[in-house]
Structure 1
């Protein structure tokens, strides 16, 4: 069920493990699947621009009630517009508002938001102040460790201190700098070297801030290493391409004593949601594109992936495509 005017949760958010906002990937179908596997992880929407929310014709704030806890990631640099969107986010029941100060794409720069805002910490502070004035939920910032030639530790701490003084006490730090010129967004996720130690240093120097790390994390074992020194870990591509790693988050990272769902149990719990989507006129491949990695590492996973990729997009495709793909794995 899509949210309307629901009250946001009041208990403090568990930031131990979160899934990064990823454009075209972390839509509400993927987030529903992720939530089936972990009750504790913190979900983030894809980045939504203030312009889309204020002027767009669609409902860019819709989500499934089951996704909570859920953060809305906003892209923008106009404090007034961000405040409008933050107010709507509160009214719609979101649990956190996150400002994107990390995306390096050309489209984002031309709109004066994303990673280029690291060069304007006072403006980011104004944005945070404006959103906090209308929101009784956390306002957080996702950032890089630097941009272009501005990549000293002093540059990072000046940014963090300025934004902190505006009332932001939670930072998610992608442990790479961003090259605003010359690299594509994909290259910016891979080419600039990771510098985890710089994020560790930030937490040591600012122990009262909540610092989560993002970038290059591929396993829960790696998460455990980071969590010794930090408040949280945000995982991106691995959580999408190999989603079953989420099935053990509650047990291994959050200390909950409960059984781990099998892949087939996850699939079984997801089927009613898919059927509801189809009954409402939705297309099967809008959901199955998020499921192709569910059996990664298992015998027959390529058969699963290929059958779904070749058949889910066809007109009239239904649950039988998923059932047949699973059968083909063992035949």
Structure 2
């Protein structure tokens, strides 16, 4: 089975016949054909099969009112005592609310609220605790801001309470495999979803992650999950994909995925990139403390935008917005 990775470009000198990538800011005229049993090869984009060409070029539908033709910023709000990057900093509800409002003011176009740490080695949180951490914060936010809100959970009761409080999207790090009732709930309430790849659970995922071919294995897994979700009544237009950087991956796995993010446009869904402050950034940039990894996180985020990634899930919202805006300004500047 061939896989098609568009070679994304953003240069203002765009040749005649170049095609838009997912209806966004990148263009392409060349595609790398990947196969498990043959060497990669390059072909003109016009040689693609019609169905593959459509998935690569078709504009993505809005997700939770967000325009997928421009890079969006998802601000992370961990209402937990033990998240890897900011554990405990926003566990107090009032502090969490103030931080979320500041992220919205700084340029977050969606807020991702989570009450269960999914750092390596983390244990599951009881449902009641997860609800008590997230639903009141979401309700208080919804009373004051119109910014879309995502609930970061694997569990139907948590998602239900969050939706009742005003959440607009379900973001499941288990790819809707942990709780069989969660996808049907999303379908019955017409909620958009983000399906993320992870190998193993947070407790075990970094023990010894292995793949035959990490890029194609993750792609196939996400493709299968999209088919399962559409069969349950969630249309492709309401599905976001996330390759799951750092979730059951080594440094080499993460770098391979980041190098080839454009492949995931072939799934026909928006792409979310969640690499902010993760351990591989610290190991490559020699920043052992997560709070010091903002520069490396910005580099990874801009690399994702250059490949057409539609949603950046980040801790450092103001800095990411500034980096994105400057990057876009250079593209829009008069050439001569």
Range into which the TM-score falls when normalised by the shorter chain: 0.3 to 0.5
- TM-score by structure 1 length? 0.46
Structure with more contact order per residue of length (Cα contacts < 8 Å, sep ≥ 6): 2
TM-score, normalised relative to structure 2: 0.45
Which structure has greater strand proportion? 2
